[in-house]
Structure 1
Amino acid sequence: MPATALMHVVWPLLAFASTLSYMHKRATSLQGSEGTVKFSTFLLAGMLSCCMLSTSWAAEPLKALRIAANPNLSSIELLTNFGPLAAAMEKELSLKVELVTGKDYADTLNQLKTGAVDIAGTGAFGYVTAMSEFSPKLLVRFVEDDGESYRAVIITRTDSTIRSVADLRGKRFAFTDLRSTSGFLLPMLEMQRNGIELKDLGKAEFVKKQPNSAVAVYTRQVDAGAIADNQLGEKYGVKLDELRVIWRSEPIFHGVWLARPSMSDDDVKRITQALLKISASPEAKQMFRNASVRGFTAAKDSDFDNVRTAKRLLDKLEKEK
C-alpha cells in the first residue's frame, strides 16, 4: 500500500483511539445508566466517524490500466490477440493501456494480488483459488469460438494401449500447470476417482502451455496428457488423427477478467461496462479476429460453483494422503 494511502488509514484510527479515551473518561465521570447510555452513544458516534474518515483512503481513480493476460500466450501472441482490444479500451476509458504477460498462472495472479497489474485474465481454477486467497473483483467471462464453455480432456496416441483413465497408472503423463482447471485440476480429480494419485504415475511432466501437452503426447515424450478441448489443434506439427480422447469433463465456463482487490467499485463498474460495450460493438468481430476470445459476457461468482466444488474435493483428497 502506498505511504499516502497508509496514512489515510492510520490517521483516522489514531484519531479515533484518542477520541475514545476522552469519551471514556467523560462517560465514567457520569453516574449510573445515564453514563452508560452516554458512553454507548459516544462510542457509536466515534465508530461512525472513523468509518467515514477511513473511506478517504479508498483507491484513487485509475490513471493507466495494466493488463496481464492468460499465460498460455507468448508475448507476440499477446500483442496479436489483445492489441486491438487494448486500443479500444484506451479509447473507451481515456486511459493508457499496457499489456503484460505473466510467467505462469501463479505469477499472473500474484501480480494482480500485489497491484503490479490492474486486471488479469485467468481460468476457472485460477478464479476460485484467487477468490479464496485475496478476493479480487470479478469483471466478465470470456466467450470463445465454442461459446461460453469448454471441457478438459485426456488424450493419448491412437496406437497406445491406454483405453481409459484406469490405464494411466504407471504411465508418463503431461499436465500443463498446477493452477489450470483443464490442464491439472479436473483430470487429476478424475484420476483420484479411479484410485490413481500423482505418485502412481510413471512420471508427471508440467509443460506450462496447453499446446505443449498435445505435442508431448504426439511426439511420444509422454504416454498421455491433459488439455482443454478448445486448445487441441494441429499446432506445431501435431496430427489429430493420430490422437485419441479417452475422457472428457463436464462443461467448464471459460476464463475471466479480474480486477485487483484495491480497485474502486466505480472503476470496476466502468471497466466492466467498457468490456461489454466493446464486445457488443459492430467492430468486435474484426477486433477479435486473431484473438483467443470472441468477446465477453456478464459474470457472477456462482458460475464457477462446479469448479469450486471440485477444488474442495481435491483439497480434501490431498489432506487424506
Structure 2
Amino acid sequence: MHSKMNILTAVLMLGAAALPAHAQGWKDDYAIVKFGVLSNENEKDRLMRYEPLRAYLEGSLGVKVEIFSAGNYDGVVQAIAADQIEIARLGSSSYAAAYTATNGGVVPTLVDLSKDGSTGYNSIVVARCDSGIKSLADAKGKVHAFADPDSTSGYAVPYFNFITKLNIKPEQYFAAIPFAGSHEAGVAGVANGTFSTASTSQRTDTNGTYQDMVQKGMIEKGVICPIWKSPEITNGPWTFRTNLPKDMIEDITVALEKLPEAEPETFKLYVSFDADDPNPVVGFTRVDAERYQWIVDMRDWLKKRRRNSN
C-alpha cells in the first residue's frame, strides 16, 4: 500500500511539475508573434503609430511581438497566406484578398468603433480645390490615380461604383488610371499636379488621408477638396489565420480590446487621434466573416472583369 502511495505521489508530482509548461498553451509553439500592417502611409509614420502597440502586445501576452510591413498591400496578404505572419491589420479589400488567397483560411475579429457607434468609412475622390474640377463629370479625360490594387477605398470600391452605379468605365473615361502606390502618394500627386484626381479615404469630413496630411504638414490646408463620396465601407479588420490555436486568437483579440483603457496614449497613436475630430475612434467591436462577404463578392466581380477584358 505504501509503495502504491509513493508511486501515486510521484505521478502527481510529475504532473504538477509539467503544469507550468503546459499552462503556457499556445505560447510554447509561438514564441514570436508577427503582425502585418498595410503600406497606406510612409514607413516612419507607420512605425511611430504601431511601435507602442507592438510593445503593449508584447507585455500583455508575454511573447515576443514583431511588426511586418511590405512595399505594397499584396506583400502583407501573401505573408499571411504563406503562414509567415500570424495576424494582419487589413483593409476590407485586402482582407477579402487574404480570404480568397487562403480559401477562407483567415478570420476577422475586431474593427475600429467610432464615438457615434459607426464602424465604417468612405472612399472619396479628391482634386485640387483650384483646379476647377468639382465633380467626376469635370474629371472626364483627366488623369485619375488609384492607390493600390488591393486597397478597398483607394481602388476596389471606387472602381466598382464607377462602373456599376455611375456607368463610368475608368479605362475609357479618364486619360490614364495609374496606381500611385499608396493613399498619401495619390493625394500628394494631386497636390503637385502629377494627377488631376485620386481615390483615397476618409472617416468623417474632418478625418481622412488628406486631412491627416494637412495635420502632418505634408500639404497645405485648402489645397485638396473632395469631389465624390462612396457608400459606407465597413472598417478593415484585425485578421488571424484560422490554423492558429483558438485560445491564441482569443487572447490576442482580448488584449487589443483592452488597449483603449490599458494604454490610452498608445491607442491614440494607433488611431491617429485628433482632438478636433467630433467623431473619433474610441475602441473596437467584434465582427465575423459574414460582415465582409459583399467585399469578397466585389473582388470576385473585379477579378472576372479583368479576366474577361484580357
User: TM-score, normalised to structure 1's length?
Assistant: 0.73
Q: Which amino acid aligns with 2:237?
A: V
- Following superposition, the deviation at residue 100 of structure 1 comes to 2.2
Quick check: 1:300 aligned with 2:273? Answer: no
Distance 1:98 1:145, change over 3 A: farther
Q: Return the alpha-carbon distance in structure 1 between the equivalents of residues 86 and 153 of structure 2.
A: 25
Gaps of 5+ in 2: 1-25, 203-207, 273-280
Work out which of the two has the higher radius of gyration on C-alpha atoms and give 1 or 2. Answer: 1
- Following superposition, the deviation at residue 314 of structure 1 comes to 3.1
Gaps of 5+ in 1: 1-57
1:1-321 equivalent positions in 2, closer than 5 A: 61-134=29-102, 135-143=105-113, 148-192=119-163, 193-229=166-202, 230-233=208-211, 234=214, 235-279=216-260, 281=261, 283-292=262-271, 294=281, 295-321=283-309
Q: Return the alpha-carbon distance in structure 2 between the equivalents of residues 75 and 224 of structure 1.
A: 24
Q: Return the alpha-carbon distance in structure 2 between the equivalents of residues 161 and 80 of structure 1.
A: 37
- Following superposition, the deviation at residue 222 of structure 1 comes to 0.9
Distance 1:70 1:150, change over 3 A: same
SS of equivalent residue, structure 2 residue 59:
helix
**Deviation by residue 1:40-93 (Cα, 9 ceiling, x = unmatched):** xxxxxxxxxxxxxxxxxx997322111211222433323311222222211221
Q: CA RMSD in A?
A: 2.5
Distance 1:315 1:240, change over 3 A: farther
- Given that 2:81 and 2:101 are in contact with CA atoms closer than 8 Å, whether structure 1 keeps it comes out as no
SS of equivalent residue, structure 1 residue 221:
coil
How many positions carry a matched residue from both structures? 262
- Given that 1:81 and 1:288 are in contact with CA atoms closer than 8 Å, whether structure 2 keeps it comes out as no
Distance 1:189 1:110, change over 3 A: same
Q: Return the alpha-carbon distance in structure 2 between the equivalents of residues 217 and 313 of structure 1.
A: 29
Work out the percentage of aligned pairs sharing the same amino acid. 22
- Given that 1:138 and 1:301 are in contact with CA atoms closer than 8 Å, whether structure 2 keeps it comes out as yes
**Deviation by residue 1:172-226 (Cα, 9 ceiling, x = unmatched):** 1111100101111111123323232325421222112212211111111111111
- Given that 2:78 and 2:98 are in contact with CA atoms closer than 8 Å, whether structure 1 keeps it comes out as no
Q: Which amino acid aligns with 1:296?
A: F
Higher fraction of helix: 1
Q: Return the alpha-carbon distance in structure 2 between the equivalents of residues 237 and 75 of structure 1.
A: 15
Q: Which amino acid aligns with 1:257?
A: W
- Given that 2:80 and 2:98 are in contact with CA atoms closer than 8 Å, whether structure 1 keeps it comes out as no
Q: Return the alpha-carbon distance in structure 2 between the equivalents of residues 249 and 212 of structure 1.
A: 20
